[in-house]
């Protein structure tokens, strides 16, 4: 949600900034802007995607080796040139970019207006900029100190970066609630909301913690807390490389990431699963297995696709480990005064590791002394750092806004965790081995599902003009129905709903007619016969059924318009195989409808505001 970049060094800043903003564009793409210092401050901003700004900068030579940039996901104020960042002090003496929300901006704006400040945008960011200016003017403090003091007056979240006119060797950044990373090069430094813009130049990074500020010059950087305590920064080595954040010949990141799943799942399980020895090893949880396996209750908090993975986790943990599980939207959990007791354990799931609501859930539970474990993809992200322990997905960077490979890796990790807990609680060895063997076989089976791409593209062609879709599944495949519907909504803008198949009778059946495609997850599992009855009910009302079932199952051919057959696996692992045809279906329909698959309207990959 909003992307920030910064650079100070020997290179032309604008090149680094534009490239960096393009890499961060998945965080927001409503408008973009840069401020470059070369004695004077040169500020350019443009409504629309980074490409629009890049066009402007091609015709305007902006010289300077220090600068900041921003790609916006609008919160306060419509997408427009005026609301685009950077925002400037009234006298033009410094420029600021911001990711987050200043909650008390209205009160500050009114106060500053009374003191004679004039505002040119509707943003909370301009208010913060002018607050800093006011503090500087009234106290006579140098800019870094004025920033520090102004930040103590704001309520809300921020990742900010600032450069100033006539200050060719000064880059200031601070964070609270929104991520910021400092890339440490040789005589040069990079700022980014995440590692994507830095990876090309350096692998050495400092993750700023909440409430920290960094003052950077070409020779050094100094980290301190906003309330002025010294911090000894830790330099970390980045794991991801450049190739992983590029499209590598694919048309979109989403399809690249869908096709990466055999590899991402193999990486996710590497060194963790050994079926022949009945071993599942989760290094990050080794010292916490006791607390998890003896938990009276496990609460899983997440948002979006990660929440769907959590639902699969509920089924698999309850079924294998026999521990009661509750799944919560992190956004609800944080505000509904949940009952947490000694003996509870909280799992949070987040691809980005930065989702504001999920992070708040972490803090809420920790505040009540409940252990919190993370299932996170982005190494070094805030949730990964703040949880007591956890398991990384190792799925590699996910850039397409619609989550795909993270979902299958999340379900894989949840199954590994469930099996590990269940082993300590007496899961019969043959059952445990069957699950681990099922996990080991997944990458090949996922490849077989991907080989159905042509068939699924053809089905997409039939339904590309549909206005509604229904997705139905039961048991482990109910969360897959929700996820399939979400994928389609997100990227094709077709209205879609996921339901437990049996619930159809309580409402959605009223919607069914010859224009309603219904996707059924009809695997030959314990609910198969019941699902067949539900299919019959849809067919009797002229609905068009697309069924996902097991390889070798010919029973549905007469009943359904289209049958997609995926390899057989154990019931617990079915979501990993059945979700992939739905990812492909959504992808192809969206492409055929001319939608911007990687950057769907109004969405952002990493939701760092409430």
CA–CA distances in Å: residue 327 to residues 303, 406, 449, 592: 10, 18, 29, 35
Residue 579 near ligand G6P by CB under 6 A: no
The minimum distance between CB 384 and ligand G6P, in angstroms, equals 11
Q: Which two tokens stand for residue 488?
A: 């389609």
In this structure, what are the phi and psi dihedrals at residue 329, rounded to the nearest 5 degrees?
-70, 125
In this structure, what are the phi and psi dihedrals at residue 327, rounded to the nearest 5 degrees?
-110, 130
CA distance 405 to 393: 10
Q: Which two tokens stand for residue 397?
A: 């960077």
**Residue sitting closest to ligand G6P (CB):** 304
Q: Centre a 10 Å sphere on the Cβ of residue 552 and count the other Cβ atoms it contains.
A: 9
| Residue closer to ligand G6P (CB basis): 31 or 355 | 355
Cβ-based burial of 434 (10 A; exposed 0-12, middle 13-18, buried ≥19): middle
Choices 188-196, 282-290, 302-310, 427-435 (CB under 6 A): range interacting with ligand G6P: 302-310
Choices 72-80, 346-354, 571-579, 583-591 (CB under 6 A): range interacting with ligand G6P: 346-354
Q: Which of 99, 123, 224, 305 binds ligand G6P (CB under 6 A)?
A: 305
CA distance 591 to 599: 12
Residue 304 near ligand G6P by CB under 6 A: yes
Choices 17-25, 70-78, 301-309, 448-456 (CB under 6 A): range interacting with ligand G6P: 301-309
Choices 17-25, 193-201, 350-358, 557-565 (CB under 6 A): range interacting with ligand G6P: 350-358
CA distance 430 to 226: 56
Q: Which of 47, 71, 80, 355 binds ligand G6P (CB under 6 A)?
A: 355
Contact partners, residue 108, CB within 8 Å, separation at least 6: 102, 127, 128, 131, 153, 154
Residues 398-427 that bind ligand G6P (CB under 6 A): 401, 403
DSSP 102: B
The question of whether 605 is a catalytic residue gets the answer yes
The question of whether 301 is a catalytic residue gets the answer no
Choices 223-231, 347-355, 535-543, 544-552 (CB under 6 A): range interacting with ligand G6P: 347-355
Residue 402 has, within 13 A of its CA and on its CB side, a CA count of 34
The minimum distance between CB 377 and ligand G6P, in angstroms, equals 7
Cβ-based burial of 271 (10 A; exposed 0-12, middle 13-18, buried ≥19): exposed
507: left (phi over 0), alpha (psi -120 to 50) or beta: left
Q: Which of 352, 527, 534, 608 binds ligand G6P (CB under 6 A)?
A: 352
Strand order of the β-sheet with 221-225 is 87-88, 94-99, 158-164, 171-176, 212-216, 221-225
Q: Which of 128, 547, 607, 609 binds ligand G6P (CB under 6 A)?
A: 607
CA–CA distances in Å: residue 192 to residues 298, 360, 393, 610: 35, 22, 22, 21
Residue 350 near ligand G6P by CB under 6 A: yes
Given CA atoms 546, 548, 551, 557 in this order, what sign does their dihedral have? negative
CA distance 513 to 518: 10
Q: Which of 65, 99, 306, 331 binds ligand G6P (CB under 6 A)?
A: 306
| Residue closer to ligand G6P (CB basis): 346 or 501 | 346
Residues 109-148 that bind ligand G6P (CB under 6 A): none
Residue 261 near ligand G6P by CB under 6 A: no
Catalytic residue, candidates 130, 176, 445, 605? 605
The minimum distance between CB 586 and ligand G6P, in angstroms, equals 12
Residue 69 near ligand G6P by CB under 6 A: no
Please work out the total of residues on this chain that contact ligand G6P, with binding judged by CB under 6 A. Answer: 15
| Residue closer to ligand G6P (CB basis): 401 or 563 | 401
The minimum distance between CB 579 and ligand G6P, in angstroms, equals 13
Q: Which of 303, 435, 436, 470 binds ligand G6P (CB under 6 A)?
A: 303
CA distance 369 to 408: 31
Choices 84-92, 123-131, 195-203, 602-610 (CB under 6 A): range interacting with ligand G6P: 602-610
Cβ-based burial of 61 (10 A; exposed 0-12, middle 13-18, buried ≥19): exposed
The minimum distance between CB 388 and ligand G6P, in angstroms, equals 18
Per-residue binding string, ligand G6P, 492-531, x by CB under 6 A, is ----------------------------------------
Give the interface with ligand G6P as residue ranges (CB under 6 A): 303-306, 350-352, 355, 358, 401, 403, 603, 605-607
Q: Which residues are catalytic?
A: 2, 605
């Amino acid at each position: 949600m909003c992307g920030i970049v910064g650079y100070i060094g020997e290179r032309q800043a604008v090149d680094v900034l534009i490239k960096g903003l393009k890499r961060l564009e998945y965080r927001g793409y409503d408008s973009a802007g840069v401020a470059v210092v070369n004695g004077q401050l040169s500020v350019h901003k443009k409504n629309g995607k980074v490409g629009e700004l890049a066009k402007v900068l091609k015709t305007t030579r902006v010289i300077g080796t220090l600068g900041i940039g921003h790609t916006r996901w609008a919160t306060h104020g419509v997408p427009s040139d005026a609301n685009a960042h950077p925002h400037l002090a009234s006298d033009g003496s410094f420029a600021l970019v911001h990711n987050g929300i200043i909650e008390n901006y209205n009160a500050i704006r009114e106060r500053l207006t009374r003191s004679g400040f004039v505002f040119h945008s509707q943003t909370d960011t301009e208010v913060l900029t002018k607050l800093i200016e006011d503090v500087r003017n009234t106290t006579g403090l140098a800019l870094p100190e004025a920033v520090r003091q102004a930040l103590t007056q704001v309520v809300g979240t921020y990742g900010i970066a600032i450069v100033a006119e006539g200050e060719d060797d000064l880059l200031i950044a601070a964070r609270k609630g929104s991520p910021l990373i400092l890339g440490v090069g040789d005589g040069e430094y990079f700022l980014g909301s995440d590692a994507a813009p830095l990876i090309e130049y350096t692998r050495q990074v400092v993750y700023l913690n909440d409430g920290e500020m960094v003052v950077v010059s070409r020779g050094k950087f100094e980290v301190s807390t906003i309330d002025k305590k010294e911090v000894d920064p830790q330099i970390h080595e980045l794991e991801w490389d450049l190739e992983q954040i590029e499209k590598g010949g694919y048309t979109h990141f989403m399809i690249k990431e869908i096709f990466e799943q055999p590899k991402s799942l193999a990486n996710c399980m590497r060194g963790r699963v050994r079926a022949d020895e009945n071993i599942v090893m989760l290094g990050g949880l080794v010292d916490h297995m006791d607390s998890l396996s003896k938990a009276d209750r496990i609460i899983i908090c997440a948002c979006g696709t990660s929440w769907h993975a959590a639902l699969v986790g509920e089924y698999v943990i309850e079924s294998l480990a026999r521990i009661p599980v509750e799944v919560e939207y992190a956004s609800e959990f944080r505000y509904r005064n949940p009952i947490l007791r000694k003996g509870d354990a909280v799992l949070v799931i987040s691809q980005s590791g930065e989702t504001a609501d999920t992070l708040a859930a972490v803090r809420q539970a920790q505040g009540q002394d409940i252990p919190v474990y993370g299932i996170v993809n982005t190494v070094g992200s805030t949730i990964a750092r703040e949880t007591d322990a956890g398991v990384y997905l190792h799925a590699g960077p996910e850039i397409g806004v619609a989550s795909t490979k993270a979902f299958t890796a999340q379900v894989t990790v949840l199954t590994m965790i469930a099996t590990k807990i269940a082993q300590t609680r007496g899961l019969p060895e043959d059952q445990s081995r069957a699950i681990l063997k099922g996990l080991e076989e997944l990458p090949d089976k996922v490849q077989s599902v991907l080989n159905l791409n042509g068939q699924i593209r053809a089905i997409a062609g039939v339904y590309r003009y549909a206005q509604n879709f229904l997705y139905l599944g039961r048991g482990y495949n109910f969360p897959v129905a929700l996820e399939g519907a979400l994928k389609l909504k997100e990227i094709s803008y077709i209205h879609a709903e996921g339901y437990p198949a049996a619930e159809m009778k309580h409402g959605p059946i009223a919607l069914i007619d010859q224009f309603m495609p219904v996707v059924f997850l009809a695997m030959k599992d314990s609910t198969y016969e019941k699902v067949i009855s539900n299919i019959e009910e849809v067919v009797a009302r002229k609905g068009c059924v697309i069924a996902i079932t097991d390889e070798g199952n010919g029973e549905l051919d007469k009943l359904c318009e289209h049958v997609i057959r995926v390899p057989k696996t154990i019931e617990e692992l079915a979501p990993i195989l059945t979700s992939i045809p739905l990812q492909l279906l959504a992808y192809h329909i969206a492409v055929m409808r001319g939608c911007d698959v990687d950057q769907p309207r109004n969405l952002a990959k990493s939701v760092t505001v409430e």
